[in-house]
Amino acid sequence: MTIPLSVLDLAVLGTETTSVRALAETTALARCADETGYRRFWVAEHHNMRSVAATSPSVLIAHLAAVTRRIRVGSGGVMLPNHSPLVVAEQFAMLEALHPGRIDLGIGRAPGTDPATAAALRRPDDTDFPAQVRDVMGLLGDPRSREGIWDHFAATPVPTSAPGLVLLGSGERGARLAGELGVPFAFAYHLRTANGSLEPLRVYRDSFVPSAALAAPYVLVSVDVLVADTDEEADRLADPHRLRMLEMLAGLPPLLLRSPREAAAHPHLGKARRLPLTLVTGAPATAVAALAELADRTGADEFIVAPVARGEAAIRSLCLLSGAQAVGAS
């Protein structure tokens, strides 16, 4: 069985680029994913990070949906505690009305930033996240109780279809909530180390209650991926990402992505290469084999691949992976 592939992109800035160029690269990547058969293209929400240009998923989704043809476009995710449920519901009702059947609303719990910026976003510390999720669902036409905010407010414009709702998470709380609500669960495997627990996946499946939205559990697993013509070339191109992860694990704010040339000269490259990351790299056959092994371990119904390079290297990575999977399925 061929597992569907989708894409998660953060519009990361490199040391040799700008926010304008990073967003142009994200646009080119979305077009590539659309043309090469990927199921979805998701963008993230981060704030006050010089290295990330993705701050407003709904605005970026509107742009990407307009320049693609068939791929689903969505958030990976909207950090719901930063926003009013009514605002999120209205934004995604608008997107769904403009692009019927092509919009995903991926919802996360984390602020996507540091505490001071979260406070500036007017994020209350006592937010009831499950209640917020239910409010959004009710406003988008899937109420889970007899009364709620949807009795008094409507998410307009009213589309003829509903965006696909997915809960994102890396822990058991989010997994359990997704199961209890009967919605797909996107497991943030790319945020874990290679020896991290897969217990949230068991929790999700064990707690799953069938709903009008979903009859059986559905797991999307996100994974950092870089595919190149050879294993050696993929390793070289992934070195900037390894160094960025080394710095983040050391407690530094996310830094600009170095070029492969800069990474090759970095004094801590050896240490970065020894990190137990969940990163999948290699030639097409190597990467497909690694994803097949990960599918066996996680029971993934779909992979959300996050290209860890930028520009032409990221586009080449998506094309090689899509082509290799198609060959393997034939």
Please write the tens of the pLDDT for every residue from 42-74.
999 988 888 899 999 999 999 999 999 999 999
Matching residue, tokens 């990361």: 12
Pairing between β-strand 103-108 and β-strand 78-79 as defined by DSSP bridges = parallel
Per-residue pLDDT tens digits of the chain, which is 330 residues long:
589 999 999 999 999 889 999 999 999 999 999 999 999 999 999 888 888 999 999 999 999 999 999 999 999 999 999 999 999 999 999 999 999 999 999 999 976 556 666 666 666 655 799 999 999 999 999 999 889 999 999 898 988 899 999 999 999 999 999 999 999 999 999 988 777 899 999 999 999 999 999 999 999 999 999 999 999 999 999 999 999 999 988 888 778 999 999 999 999 999 999 999 999 999 999 999 999 999 999 999 999 999 999 999 999 999 999 988 755 443
Cα–Cα nearest to 243, from 254, 231, 228: 254
The C-alpha atoms of residue 204 and residue 180 are separated, in whole angstroms, by 8
Supply the pLDDT for residue 330.
39
Per-residue pLDDT tens over the stretch 105-122: 999 997 655 666 666 666
* DSSP of 238-306: HHHHHHHHHHHHTTPPPPPBPPHHHHHT-TTHHHHHTS-B--EEESHHHHHHHHHHHHHHH--SEEEEE
Specify the CATH number for the domain of residue 284: 3.20.20.30
The C-alpha atoms of residue 15 and residue 9 are separated, in whole angstroms, by 18
E strand or H helix that includes residue 35: helix 19-35
Phi first, then psi: what are they for 198, rounded to 5°? -100, 15
When divided into structural domains, the chain yields a total of 1
Domain boundaries, position 303:
5-329
The answer to whether 149 touches 140, Cβ cutoff 8 Å, is no
Give how far Cα 149 sits from Cα of 42, 82, 138, 153, Å.
28, 18, 7, 6
* Reported pTM: 0.94
Supply the pLDDT for residue 247.
92
